[in-house]
Structure 1
Amino acid sequence: MNIKELTRAEEQVMQELWKQGKAFVKEIIEQMEDPKPAYNTVSTIIRILETKGFVGHESFGKSHRYFPKVSKDDYKDFAAGKLISGYFDNSAKKMLSFFIQENRLNIKETDELLRLLEKAKKK
């Protein structure tokens, strides 16, 4: 699958679609934070997302109910890979070091990461 990068607005719409599973434009807007975007704006973004292959739809007369064609996990994998390759020389170690040095991880999160690493070592 060839995943493309989403704009900020496209990602906001996809986040709602991933949460809801299937939704009409009106239902997507209802769940978005204030100030809510205009109906036409979200409708246009949805059509762009369809063109990019992220969204499909079911027709109900003149209405369309939209659903994700790309899973959140697949996009998360793509976005994480892009972050690691673009900013951390393809090194998860460098990325993790950055988060630790910038105090982006609290003690509880650090302990949880250590547990995950120990678990991974045992496999």
Structure 2
Amino acid sequence: MEELTKAQEEILLVLWDIQEGAVADVVEKLPEPKPAYTTVATVIKVLEKKGYVGHKKFGNIHVYYPVVTKKAYAKHVLKDAYKGLFNNSLNQLVSFFVKEKDVPVSELEELKKLIDQEIKKQKS
């Protein structure tokens, strides 16, 4: 998977949200100040070239849809961060997010529960 710019990622987030749409639909969902229609069209074409987006043609209208799932993209991004920024250390990655963000106790308890379940599963 190729790396995405912030603009490309923002447009892909909209496509994941709406599932499919024409350029005008994407522009409508973007926050203010909205980029120009032609800018969004160009970014979508780049996303298509990179393999993140596909399209269907209905007359003169192209309807775009994500080809890569949000989960697959998140996995790719986190894997790169995990390797590069955290020296392949899951402990460093999790510690960073837990210590650098004000993580509510409820979320920490949820994480602990998930970890305990995974430990139990792997020991079985």
1:98 equivalenced with 2:109 (yes/no): no
Q: Which residue of 2 aligns with 1:110?
A: 108
Q: Which residue of 1 aligns with 2:8?
A: 10
| Aligned-pair CA distance for 1:104 | 3.9
- Segment drifting more, 106-115 vs 71-80: 106-115
Matches within 5 A, 1:17-96: 17-96=15-94
Letter in 2 for 1:114: K
Q: 2-side partners of 1:85 and 1:25: how far apart?
A: 35
Aligned with 1:36: secondary structure?
A: coil
Aligned with 1:6: secondary structure?
A: coil
Q: Considering only aligned residues, what root-mean-square deviation do their CA atoms show, in Å?
A: 1.0
Q: 2-side partners of 1:84 and 1:73: how far apart?
A: 16
Superposition TM-score, scaled by structure 1 size: 0.93
Q: 2-side partners of 1:19 and 1:32: how far apart?
A: 11
| Aligned-pair CA distance for 1:100 | 2.5
Q: 1-side partners of 2:20 and 2:101: how far apart?
A: 38
Letter in 1 for 2:50: K
- Structure 1 stretches of 5 or more lacking a match? none
| Aligned-pair CA distance for 1:64 | 0.3
Aligned with 1:34: secondary structure?
A: coil
Superposition TM-score, scaled by structure 2 size: 0.93
Letter in 2 for 1:78: H
| Aligned-pair CA distance for 1:109 | 1.3
- Structure 2 stretches of 5 or more lacking a match? none
Relative distance call for 1:111 and 1:25 in structure 2 (3 A) is same
